[in-house]
């Protein structure tokens, strides 16, 4: 038995056999497969060779037209290597004789091939090392693509173990037999982690090197409460976790009793508990968990799910489905937040050196006006069918907000000219998720209809800590005094100006921060639907004056540790049995 520590990002306990997904950009570890799986590995290998050769043929004709014969020669060389029978035979032999996975066998043979070139004296031939590496990556991309396909065809529950997971692959897991996830890398506030949480899949990230020493079929426990992953548990541990799993299910069932009760404090103040969603299919769980509406619809997942860009009609239908599903409750649609860890890096020829500070979110939309306008048209049309608000993400300046509004007005004019019905009076707001917007909040509240504080990004930018990097996750904390003071300022500024203010970062769903945020004056919280019942339970146990006292005390501390210890002690008094 091996017990490993990581960062729990989605609560609950998962117990199942591992299915391992390797990553093409990462060293492929030695991995053997069971005898009954060898045939599948040979098929995967065959497919990877065929797909890579076809791809090269297509690229060769495209590039030779644009770049001439020299470029075509390089593609010819790559194709020639792939067509060498010995290469495929060597890899196939490793699968047959050593029972290696197709990915490992390929990377082993290709590395040997690279070393042969490295040793050559002729600098021109030594240069070929890079080409061989290129061929290896191409083959691995196809091999791993096939393995990912296999995920969709799992026939029994499995824990997915992987080096890393993009939000778009994470998004496909809800329709598979995957019951839990454990990853080598990742931070608590990354989009992948948020998705895993939304899907209710117990998950632990940042478990260094896990994927290289777990094999497919190993029994794994993902303990999403205590930040642990247990490989090959012994019998007593397994029994203890099975009991814990049942207790967890029971606690969740009990919380279900709160569904139809209002989020009202003991002294009669009512809060609005809204939900964050990524997919229309999540509307059902919003209703189940008793949400008062949707405070954040992350529409960019429309791009992350399909292989083609979503059309205006497809978007219109998705927005209608969410609005209709909420039956008259308010829905806040956020325009695409593409870029950083979502979509653009994988698609572009050249990766940005610093994507979190790069062409992301509203900046990307404002540079892709056709795409942006299509989205705005779809939202404006769908907004005739319910109470809909429109929100722009990652705003840093008033000019940017005005520019986005101008594009919206353009879209309105076009719809008007075309005689298509739309909602002209849609309320427009911004996310405050950059220090610039927070510092300038007093100016923004004069122009915006509402504000939603995105602490996932705001914390990242105030503290200069990448929200998705496990190496710095100990520095990423919403309890940092600088964050608290910023939140205090923004909430107070909005209240004074009479502008509605919600908070839709992960912090809104963490009971640790409920009293603090309510005490700072926040009345609208937006969170993953599964978090709603517990926050509601806590609010229903409190009075406003008591929470204001908690907030004042929390604001008086100089260090993050003091803030966390204090909030934990206060919350534990009310929720003694919950892991906080």
**In the block, residue with structure tokens 């995920």:** 151
Residue 317 tokens read as 């239908």
The 272-301 contact track toward ligand PEP, x by CB under 6 A, reads ------------------------x-x---
- Beta carbons within 10 angstroms of residue 340's beta carbon: 26
- Beta carbons within 10 angstroms of residue 218's beta carbon: 16
Stretch that binds ligand PEP, among 99-107, 225-233, 453-461, 476-484 (CB under 6 A): 453-461
- Residue positions annotated with a catalytic role: 191, 504
Residue 456: CB minimum distance to ligand PEP, A? 3
Give strand ranges (E) for 148-306: 158-162, 178-183, 203-205, 219-223, 228-231, 272-277, 294-298
Residue 418: CB minimum distance to ligand PEP, A? 32
Residue 415 tokens read as 């719809």
Residue 499: CB minimum distance to ligand PEP, A? 18
455 binds, among Mg ion, ligand PEP, none (CB under 5 to 8 A by kind): ligand PEP
**By the 8 A CB rule, do 533 and 261 touch?**
no
* 454 touches ligand PEP by CB under 6 A: yes
* 505 touches ligand PEP by CB under 6 A: yes
Which residues from 69-98 bind ligand PEP, rule CB under 6 A? Answer: none
* Residue 20, strand partner residues: 161
* 360 touches ligand PEP by CB under 6 A: no
Q: Kindly list the residues in this chain that would bind Mg ion in the complex (CB under 5 A).
A: 433, 454, 457
Residue 398 tokens read as 């008033």
* 337 touches ligand PEP by CB under 6 A: yes
Q: Cα–Cα distances in Å, from 579 out to 183, 477, 561?
A: 22, 18, 18
Which residues from 379-438 bind ligand PEP, rule CB under 6 A? Answer: 433
Which residues from 178-197 bind ligand PEP, rule CB under 6 A? Answer: 194
Reading phi first (left if > 0) and then psi (alpha if -120 to 50, else beta), residue 179 is in alpha
**By the 8 A CB rule, do 186 and 163 touch?**
no
| Between 113 and 392, CB nearer to ligand PEP | 392
298 binds, among Mg ion, ligand PEP, none (CB under 5 to 8 A by kind): ligand PEP
136 binds, among ligand PEP, Mg ion, none (CB under 5 to 8 A by kind): none
* 457 touches ligand PEP by CB under 6 A: yes
Residue 401: CB minimum distance to ligand PEP, A? 17
Residue 423 tokens read as 């909602």
What is the rounded CA–CA span in Å between residue 292 and residue 271? Answer: 9
| Between 52 and 190, CB nearer to ligand PEP | 190
| Between 223 and 433, CB nearer to Mg ion | 433
81 binds, among Mg ion, ligand PEP, none (CB under 5 to 8 A by kind): none
Instruction: Output phi, psi for 329, to 5 deg.
Output: -75, 150
Residue 182 tokens read as 């454990």
Q: What DSSP letter does each residue of 316-373 carry, written as one string?
A: HHHHHHHHHHTTTS-EEEEPP--BTTBSHHHHSSS--SSGGGSS-THHHHHH-HHHHH
Residue 452: CB minimum distance to ligand PEP, A? 8
Stretch that binds ligand PEP, among 322-330, 449-457, 537-545, 553-561 (CB under 6 A): 449-457
* 504 touches ligand PEP by CB under 6 A: yes
Helix (H, G, I), strand (E, B) or coil at 306: coil
* Residue 450, strand partner residues: 429, 500
Nearest residue to ligand PEP, scored by beta-carbon proximity: 454
Stretch that binds ligand PEP, among 373-381, 452-460, 510-518, 565-573 (CB under 6 A): 452-460
Residue 505: CB minimum distance to Mg ion, A? 7
Binding site for ligand PEP (CB under 6 A): 194, 296, 298, 337, 433, 454-457, 504-505
């Amino acid at each position: 038995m091996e017990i490993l520590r990581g960062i729990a990002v989605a609560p609950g306990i998962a117990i199942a056999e591992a299915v391992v997904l390797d990553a093409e950009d990462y060293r492929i570890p030695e991995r053997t497969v069971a005898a009954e799986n060898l045939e599948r590995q040979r098929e995967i290998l065959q497919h990877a060779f065929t797909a890579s050769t076809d791809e090269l043929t297509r690229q060769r004709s495209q590039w030779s037209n644009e770049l001439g014969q020299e470029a075509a020669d390089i593609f010819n060389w790559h194709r020639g290597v792939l067509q060498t029978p010995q290469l495929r035979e060597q890899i196939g032999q490793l699968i047959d004789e050593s029972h290696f996975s197709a990915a490992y066998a390929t990377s082993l043979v290709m590395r040997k091939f690279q070393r042969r070139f490295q040793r050559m004296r002729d600098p021109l031939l030594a240069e070929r090392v890079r080409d061989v590496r290129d061929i290896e990556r191409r083959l691995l991309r196809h091999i791993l693509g096939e393995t990912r396909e296999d995920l969709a065809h799992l026939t029994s529950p499995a824990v997915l173990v992987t080096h890393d997971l993009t939000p778009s692959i994470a998004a496909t897991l809800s329709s598979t037999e995957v019951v839990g996830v454990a990853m080598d890398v990742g931070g608590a506030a990354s989009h992948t982690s948020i998705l895993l949480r939304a899907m209710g899949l117990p998950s632990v990230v940042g478990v260094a090197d896990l994927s290289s020493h777990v094999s497919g079929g190993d029994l794994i426990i993902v303990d999403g409460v205590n930040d642990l992953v247990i490989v090959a548990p012994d019998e007593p541990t397994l029994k203890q976790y099975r009991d814990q799993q049942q207790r967890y299910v029971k606690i969740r069932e009990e919380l279900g009793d709160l569904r139809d009760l209002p989020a009202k404090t003991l002294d009669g103040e009512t809060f609005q508990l809204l939900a964050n969603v990524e997919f229309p299919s999540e509307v059902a769980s919003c209703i189940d968990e008793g949400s008062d509406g949707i405070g954040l619809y992350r529409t960019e997942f429309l791009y992350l799910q399909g292989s083609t860009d979503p059309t205006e009609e497809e978007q219109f239908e998705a927005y209608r489905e969410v609005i209709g599903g909420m039956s008259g409750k308010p829905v806040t649609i956020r325009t695409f937040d593409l870029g950083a860890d979502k979509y653009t890096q994988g698609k572009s020829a050249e990766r940005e050196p610093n994507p979190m500070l790069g062409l992301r979110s509203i900046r990307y939309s404002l540079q892709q006006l056709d795409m942006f306008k299509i989205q705005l048209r779809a939202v404006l049309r769908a907004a005739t069918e319910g109470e809909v608000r429109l929100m722009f993400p990652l705003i840093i300046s008033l000019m940017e907000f005005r520019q986005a509004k101008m594009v919206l007005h353009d879209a309105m004019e076009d719809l008007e000219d075309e005689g298509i019905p739309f909602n002209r009076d849609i309320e427009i707001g911004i996310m405050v998720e950059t220090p610039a917007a927070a510092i300038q909040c007093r100016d923004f509240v004069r122009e915006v209809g509402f504000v939603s504080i995105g602490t996932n990004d705001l914390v990242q930018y105030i503290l200069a800590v990448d929200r998705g990097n496990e190496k710095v996750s100990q520095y990423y904390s919403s309890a940092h005094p600088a964050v608290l003071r910023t939140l205090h300022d923004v909430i107070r500024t909005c209240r004074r100006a009479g502008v509605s203010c919600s908070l839709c970062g992960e912090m809104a769903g963490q009971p640790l921060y409920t009293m603090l945020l309510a005490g700072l004056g926040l009345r609208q919280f937006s969170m993953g639907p599964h978090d709603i019942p517990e926050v509601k339970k806590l609010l229903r146990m409190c009075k406003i004056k008591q929470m204001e006292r908690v907030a004042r005390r929390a604001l008086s501390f100089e260090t993050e540790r003091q803030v966390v210890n204090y909030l934990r002690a206060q919350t534990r008094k009310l929720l003694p049995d919950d892991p906080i």
